[in-house]
Structure 1
Amino acid sequence: MSSPAAPAASYSTLRLAPGDVLIRQGEPGGTLYVLEEGELGVVRDGVDIATVSRPFSVVGEMSVVLGTPTSATVKARQPSTVRVFADARSTLSQDADFAFRIAYLMACRLDATSSLLVEQARKHGGKPEGDVFSRILSALHLPEQPGFTIARDDMFGRPEEAAFRD
């Protein structure tokens, strides 16, 4: 699988100093960023959840795909350069290969999260916190529950079944 770098070459570049905020949790999303160099820190609800330092890593994709406010704050930890997709949803709708790469990235992250949760659930089996892991694993399978809605349209507004047609 190739990196998201190729489509990013035609978009603007942003340079960040240490401490600069790239994404602020809870604000409207829609912009996708590809790290060229540097290091970014990801914080959600005050908890440091990730360090992003691998070139061509992508941040901002969740809010773009889900159409929701951003889920975390992303700050530069050292001088960093990112490529900016200001209207990422439109870019993804016009570039199927790039859209697939983003979907692949998200699936890999979900798989890694699921594996970690399974490992932790096994480690804590039979203990009260074990139920927490079971509930999280169940939530990852998006069960239909009162007050929980699963979108029936794909990210481009097509009916679910149209998203999987040739």
Structure 2
Amino acid sequence: MNPFLDIIAGHPVRELAAGEFVLKQDEPCPSLYVLLEGEVEVLRDDVRVAKISEVGAVFGEMSLLLGGPCTASVRTLTAARITTVDEPRAFLASSPAACLHIAELLAHRIDALNHYLVDVKHQYEGNDHIGMVDDVLSTLMHRHPKRKTKN
């Protein structure tokens, strides 16, 4: 069993029918969501970027960490049960284990993206447009967060 599920035990559980949105891109994302059962799709600009059925999958973490609206939409493909963690910053501040879990999830995603981009680069080596992949890889490795300025 996923140890992260022990950490989120006691938070409210929502039951959703197939086709319902857990969150929508560009809308506020005040909570963190954890998949307990079912299958969802992640959409970015109405393009499916992932299909997820892994118990313990987390949604809303990008918005939470970046301090902005949802970066993607999440819609159920089947009936689903989802835990909602309200006040997620306070939750993460009080749980190093939860922070580590989310950091590991994000690291796996970045690693998978890097592998994919390197594979694309190998496949299209010598083509004029491959410089785009170099730019993306460079951005992933060297991007610094935008600093918030005080007025």
TM (normalized to structure 2)? 0.90
Give unpaired runs (5+ residues) of structure 2: none
Q: Which amino acid aligns with 1:30?
A: P
Q: Indicate yes or no: 2:136 matched with 1:136.
A: yes
Q: Which amino acid aligns with 2:115?
A: S
2 CA distance for matches of 1:52 and 1:34?
11
1 CA distance for matches of 2:38 and 2:123?
35
Q: What is the Cα deviation at residue 143 of structure 1?
A: 3.8
Q: What is the Cα deviation at residue 151 of structure 1?
A: 4.4
Contact (CA 8 Å) 1:35, 1:80: kept in 2 or not? yes
Cα deviation per residue 1:139-162 (whole Å; 9 max; x = unaligned)? 102346xxxx5449xxxxxxxxxx
Q: Indicate yes or no: 2:106 matched with 1:111.
A: no
TM (normalized to structure 1)? 0.83
Give unpaired runs (5+ residues) of structure 1: 153-166
Q: Which amino acid aligns with 1:26?
A: D
Indicate the RMSD between aligned Cα atoms, in angstroms: 1.6
How do residues 21-100 of structure 1 correspond to structure 2 at under 5 angstroms? 21-100=21-100
Q: Which amino acid aligns with 1:58?
A: V
Q: Which amino acid aligns with 1:112?
A: A
2 CA distance for matches of 1:96 and 1:151?
25
Q: Helix, strand or coil: the match of 1:15?
A: strand
Q: Which amino acid aligns with 2:65?
A: V
- Structure 1 stretches of at least 4 aligned residues deviating more than 3 Å after TM superposition: 149-152
Q: What is the Cα deviation at residue 128 of structure 1?
A: 2.5
